Amino acid sequence: MRSGPPRAGNDLSAGGYPGEPWGYRQRRQSGHNRFMNTSIRRVSVLAVVLVAAWGLTGCQLMYSQESATALIPPSKPEVYAPAATHQFHFDPKLDDVVGVLQITHVQGEDTLSDIARRFNLGYEEIVRANPGVDPWLPGEGRAIVLPTQFVLPKAPREGVVINLAQLRAYYYPRRRKDEVLQTVITHPIGIGKVGWSTPLGTTKVTLKQRNPIWIPPASVRKEHAKAGDPLPARVLPGPDNPLGAHKLTLGWPSYLMHGTNKPYGVGMRSSHGCIRFYPEDIAQLFEAIPVGTKVTVVNQPFVFGWHGDALYAQAFPILEDDGRKHPNEASVLMNAAITDGMWKKIKEYGAVVNLARVDEVVEQARGIALPVSRADLAIDAFLADARQVENRLPEGANWDGRDELLVTAEEFEAALSGTPLPKQPPAAESSAGRAANSLPAGGSH
């Protein structure tokens, strides 16, 4: 990991000592005894004066020594290799939380979107975990919280589980009878924007297809035409295809799980209801998920789970179009969200839930999993103790880091707001944008 001079906004100590090194100067003395005797007498008098001064101002001198000691900068925390962020093994009887909270530091011209993709996070996930940080100019050396610890949603741990509020998907591969530990693979997702919500409920994967053709539904074509971006009847595979290179059709008509040609839109509400993945993540899931796999979609802005000897809480902003009335008191919220098994563990461990801490987690909604059954542990203290890691791809990451995130501010804002951009006149029409006469493979995207 590169290091450099401290920058403005860096909330870690920069190190170094105040002042300049002391220099020494030697004097040549003459060989005359009278001058030597005079020097000796002067040194003797100076010694007496210093002894007297010590006796009179000993406290001040001692204070100066203590102050100098206090100026020694604290040792820098050890920096580790980044921990895995997408695949975990856990005991379903003991754990409801996977992963570990990490902190890294900005390198060069990194944006928060760059760091998010590197650590398998979505845009909203990393932004809400780092309030006050400029997503485009975070500042080299700036400490960035990586919310790579996840409380599993309250849903059957089988097939694919999607938590819309979290903007994240979980895939539980089928476990053999002799396996004690369960595997979960998790990735950030993009979901339906306001007015084009991703539906809740249970369905299944009905079809898988590589390099799909996109057939825009009439409603999507109408929206784009109104915005000055008319769409063709069919879009061939290629860089202009919003489905990317992999598509999993769901049992719900017109709803898909697929890749994207705009990776910067992952982790946002920017689709017409479909579930978008980073290209590298959907490629892995495409191979792993068989046709017929159950898909459960939930909307849980507040999740609780047991980990080690503590109860953890994780909160996300309530979606704009979530019309439910959510509890605003910690005790009521916990009664609604915590399972009987969790209450049993709380009693077994004699744990006491800090309701004020639960309120704090819910109010901030930073998406950071925090133990709330440790009365003396605040969010800031928990972050200060987080694992410091190098700003590089974790071992086993799906992304190779080569596909740079190139996007204009206008394109990004359009994705963030879910608004189509007016079509720009192309230099030459791409083959991907021409109408095709191949077999259809529709979806809202």
Which residue in the list 86, 274, 307, 445 is annotated as catalytic? Answer: 274
Report residue 275 as tokens: 């579930």
CA proximity to 187, closest of 105, 252, 283: 283
Res. 51: pLDDT tops 60 = no
Write phi, then psi, for 332 (nearest 5 degrees): -70, -40
pLDDT digits (tens, 9 = 90+) for 366-379: 999 999 998 778 88
pLDDT for 136:
93
Report residue 266 as tokens: 């992952």
pLDDT for 378:
82
Exposure string (b/e) for 20-46, b if CB count within 10 Å is 16 or more? eeeeeeeeeeeeeeeeeeeeeeeeeee
Q: pLDDT class for 171, splitting at 50, 70, 90?
A: very high
Helix (H, G, I), strand (E, B) or coil at 221: helix
**In the predicted model, what is the mean pLDDT of the chain?**
81
Q: Are strands 149-151 and 97-99 parallel, antiparallel or unpaired?
A: antiparallel
Which stretch of 201-205, 422-426, 432-436 has the lowest confidence by average pLDDT?
Answer: 432-436
CA atoms within 13 A on the CB side of 371: 20
| Domain boundaries defined on the chain | 33-70, 79-445
Q: pLDDT class for 73, splitting at 50, 70, 90?
A: low
pLDDT for 75:
67
Q: Which residue has the higher pLDDT, 25 or 143?
A: 143
Q: Which residue has the higher pLDDT, 410 or 104?
A: 104
Exposure string (b/e) for 340-379, b if CB count within 10 Å is 16 or more? eebeebbeeeebebbeebbbbbbebbbbbbbbbbbeebee
pLDDT for 405:
65
Q: What's the rounded Cα separation, in Å, for the pair 136 and 386?
A: 24
Res. 53: pLDDT tops 50 = no
Res. 27: pLDDT tops 60 = no
Q: pLDDT class for 156, splitting at 50, 70, 90?
A: very high
Q: In sequence order, which ranges of 215-313 are alpha helices (DSSP H)?
A: 218-226, 279-288
**Helix axis angle, 58-70 to 33-56, nearest 10°:** 80
pLDDT for 24:
32
Active site residue 274: yes
Q: Are strands 256-258 and 246-250 parallel, antiparallel or unpaired?
A: antiparallel
Which residue in the list 258, 272, 307, 445 is annotated as catalytic? Answer: 258
pLDDT for 72:
59
Taking a C-beta distance cutoff of 8 angstroms, is the pair 158, 294 a contact?
A: yes
Report residue 98 as tokens: 């996977």
pLDDT digits (tens, 9 = 90+) for 297-330: 999 999 999 999 999 999 999 999 999 999 878 8
Which stretch of 62-76, 248-262, 275-289, 322-336 has the lowest confidence by average pLDDT?
Answer: 62-76
Active site residue 326: no
Which of 2.40.440.10, 1.10.10.10, 2.60.40.1660, 2.102.10.10 would CATH assign to domain 79-445?
2.40.440.10
Taking a C-beta distance cutoff of 8 angstroms, is the pair 168, 297 a contact?
A: no
Taking a C-beta distance cutoff of 8 angstroms, is the pair 387, 330 a contact?
A: no
